């Protein structure tokens, strides 16, 4: 089953308006944001069938479902891929959507909060460590989108500097092929045409702070607050794009920190949806100065 806005919705999904955006969430799993609408657009997020999952016979399968979720980095299957099939508490007001989950099998309790901010949404993520002893972890915010659009990864540098020191990194995963025809290269960005195909993933750091997805004349962009002088997983890739046959993911990561029992880590994203006539217009918007 392909990820399409027309896929059947979860039975307990609730859609409401928050600022200029429509949002949906659910109480039966998560925390997740299962839908995002701008004006009369279709759901911009992927909606996936139950067969799109990570099989894990020891703790139970992780079912992707689509939408926006919160994971924990670094990616360790017995920590990251534990199921989130338990009830969440949902809080709707005119000024806020909050979704709070209980502690999962790995010992992390997660929450997502969305607040309107003019033409944007502020998205706050929090992971609380409820296990025994200290652990190294970071919030990992992941937005799943349907294949068929164009994903944009700015590299986080102007490319105009001089001098002997490197100023950015491009990070690749073992299954990523640089001759994949879905990859295109620009001076300050990597472009992925999200046609179905084998898995691939690219990331950038340490200054990469913005991601975009262009589809059907709408540009979804998200960016996050900087954490100068901190360390990140995945060889310092602060922004990442993953693509396979079923979905495309825009991923941002907070810095790795040591969490003691009862302590938490937070990560803030900013979302915006705007009309966009072309890839060149999208690049101009995404490669400009990052707000905030």
pLDDT, one tens digit per residue, over 130-188 is 999 999 999 999 999 999 999 999 998 766 677 788 888 999 999 999 999 999 999 89
* Residue range 260-283: mean pLDDT, rounded: 97
Residue 66 pLDDT exceeds 90: yes
d(CA 209, CA 178): 22
d(CA 113, CA 70): 11
Mean per-residue pLDDT over the chain, rounded: 92
Quickly state the pLDDT bin for 229 (edges 50, 70, 90).
Answer: confident
Give residue 158's pLDDT. 64
> Is 14 exposed, middle or buried, given 0-12, 13-18 or 19+ CB atoms closer than 10 A?
middle
Residue 225 pLDDT exceeds 90: no
What's the pTM? 0.94
Of 140, 203, 193, 151, nearest in space to 172 by CA = 203
Is 8 within a domain?
no
Enclosing domain of residue 263? 14-286
Is 31 within a domain?
yes
* 284: alpha, beta or left? (left if phi > 0; alpha if psi -120 to 50): alpha
The predicted-structure confidence for 241-259, as pLDDT tens digits, reads as follows 999 999 999 999 999 999 9
Quickly state the pLDDT bin for 288 (edges 50, 70, 90).
Answer: confident
* Residue range 263-267: mean pLDDT, rounded: 97
Give residue 12's pLDDT. 62
Alpha-carbon distance values, 221 to 146, 177, 265, 291 (Å): 15, 25, 23, 12
Residue 290 pLDDT exceeds 70: no
Q: What is the largest CA-CA distance in the chain?
A: 57
Is 9 within a domain?
no
Number of domains in the chain: 1
Is 106 within a domain?
yes
Is 254 within a domain?
yes
Q: Which residues contact 26 (CB under 8 A, 6 or more apart)?
A: 10, 12, 13, 14, 32, 34, 88, 90
d(CA 211, CA 153): 5
Quickly state the pLDDT bin for 234 (edges 50, 70, 90).
Answer: very high
Of all residues in the chain, the percent with pLDDT exceeding 70 is: 93
Q: What are phi and psi of 281, to 5 degrees?
A: -65, -40
CATH code, 244: 2.70.98.10
Is 291 within a domain?
no
Is 124 within a domain?
yes
Is 280 within a domain?
yes
The predicted-structure confidence for 81-136, as pLDDT tens digits, reads as follows 999 999 999 999 999 999 999 999 999 999 999 999 999 999 999 999 999 999 99
Residue 226 vs residue 134, higher pLDDT: 134
């Amino acid at each position: 089953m392909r990820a399409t806005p027309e896929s059947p919705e979860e039975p307990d999904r609730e859609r409401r308006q928050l600022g200029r955006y429509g949002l949906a969430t659910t109480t039966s799993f998560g925390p997740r944001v299962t839908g995002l609408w701008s004006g009369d657009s279709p759901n911009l997020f992927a909606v996936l069938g139950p067969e799109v999952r990570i099989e894990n016979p020891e703790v139970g399968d992780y079912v992707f479902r689509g939408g926006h979720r919160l994971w924990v980095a670094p990616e360790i299957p017995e920590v990251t891929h534990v199921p989130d099939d338990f009830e969440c508490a949902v809080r709707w007001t005119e000024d806020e959507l909050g979704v709070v989950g209980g502690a999962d099998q790995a010992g992390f309790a997660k929450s997502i909060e969305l607040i309107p901010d003019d033409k944007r949404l502020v998205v706050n993520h929090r992971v609380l460590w409820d296990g025994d002893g200290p652990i190294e972890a970071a919030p990992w915010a992941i937005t799943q989108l349907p294949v068929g659009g164009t994903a944009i990864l700015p590299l986080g540098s102007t490319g105009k500097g001089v001098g002997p020191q490197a100023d950015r990194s491009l990070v690749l995963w073992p299954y990523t092929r640089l001759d994949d025809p879905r990859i295109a290269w620009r001076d300050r960005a990597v472009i992925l045409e999200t046609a179905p195909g084998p898995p691939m993933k690219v990331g950038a750091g340490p200054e990469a702070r913005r991601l975009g997805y262009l589809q059907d004349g709408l540009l979804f962009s998200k960016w996050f607050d900087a954490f100068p002088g901190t360390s990140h997983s995945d060889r310092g890739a602060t922004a990442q794009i993953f693509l396979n046959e079923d979905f495309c993911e825009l991923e941002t990561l907070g810095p790795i920190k040591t969490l003691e029992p009862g302590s938490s880590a937070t990560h803030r994203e900013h979302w915006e949806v705007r009309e966009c006539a072309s890839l060149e217009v999208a690049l101009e918007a995404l490669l400009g100065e990052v707000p905030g």
